[in-house]
Amino acid sequence: MLDEVRTVVSVGMRYSPPAYALDEVNAAQGRGVISAYAHGDDYHDIMKARLEALARELDQLLGRHDQRVYVDTAPVLEHALAEDSGLGWQGKHSLTLNRQLGSWFLLGELFTTADIKEDDKASFHCGTCSACIDICPTRAIVAPFVVDARLCISYLSIEYKGSVPRRLRPLIGNRIYGCDDCQMVCPWNGGLPPPVSDFLSPRGENCLPELASLLLLDDAAFRSRFVKSPVKRIGRERFIRNCCIAAGNNGEQSLLTALWSLAMQDDSAIVREHAVWALGMLSRAENSHAAMQRLSVMQGSETDANVREEISLTIKEIKESI
């Protein structure tokens, strides 16, 4: 990462925990859930600027050295570095935990050629607790400290670009960007006050936003709605895909109109596919015959093979539910 590097300075920047409890997440009818760190400004930009300022201050203290800063911008083993630096230990959910701060903080690193005395490694304080493993909706924490990204809601909703496996969609619930479940049940996160200064400036509109308005966002409206937000980084296609899954799991019949529009007219085959799935979920209880007829008509004009297959599976599942 840097020639002749001698030291890595590991830093943590706190952000506000969710302003709701886990049972409120699962009961948030007609609303989506965005991870707490993304309720405000993009941490990549904020934290990088602060790390660069720290690098300049180190040069003033120690003399000029070569330095590089990272905030999720390279394959840095940030949790292992944080543990070695004494910042916190790696919990069974793989995130870094601190006895005073819990896990509600983001990690960054400053690589430097300066030779700085190292801190003691953090000690482990999870004990026999398995709350994070037990709560995971998709059972992505397959063993202590081992997360299968292919099952993790945070990975699926943020990093993964393709079609979310059908068997996992019902388990995702109404989470549309990331997932905080494993953090919300952690005993070390219980009763923590918000930080005195939250540099990410949380916006109320990103706290349990209404799915009805999100499903209507075109590309320009999406970019405007999430300006300076980390949500903007995943792009409209992935985000609306996530919103379709949440809509299908929500049971809100009022979302049908927006879903039909996406299924029939959206330019993205990924969005159309997940909108069809959501329509199937919402049409099993009401208007099932009308939904099957409409889907059959759609199938005749659909050009994408994956969407056609989704329509076939959805029609079959609606029939079986009648």
Catalytic residue set? 72
Q: Where are the alpha helices (DSSP H) in 180-268?
A: 181-184, 211-214, 219-225, 235-250, 256-265
Local structure of residue 230 (DSSP, 8 states): G
| C-alpha–C-alpha distance, residues 277 and 287, integer Å | 15
Phi-psi region of 178 (alpha: psi -120 to 50; beta: other; left: phi over 0): left
Strands 175-177 and 33-34: parallel
- C-alpha span between 262 and 53 (Å, rounded): 45
Q: Count of alpha carbons within 13 Å of 80, Cβ hemisphere only? A: 4
The dihedral built from the CA positions of residue 216, 221, 222 and 226, taken in this order, carries a sign that is negative
Q: d(Cα 95, Cα 97) in Å, to the nearest integer?
A: 6
> What's the first-to-final CA gap in the chain, in angstroms?
59
CA–CA separation, 138 and 120 (whole Å): 35
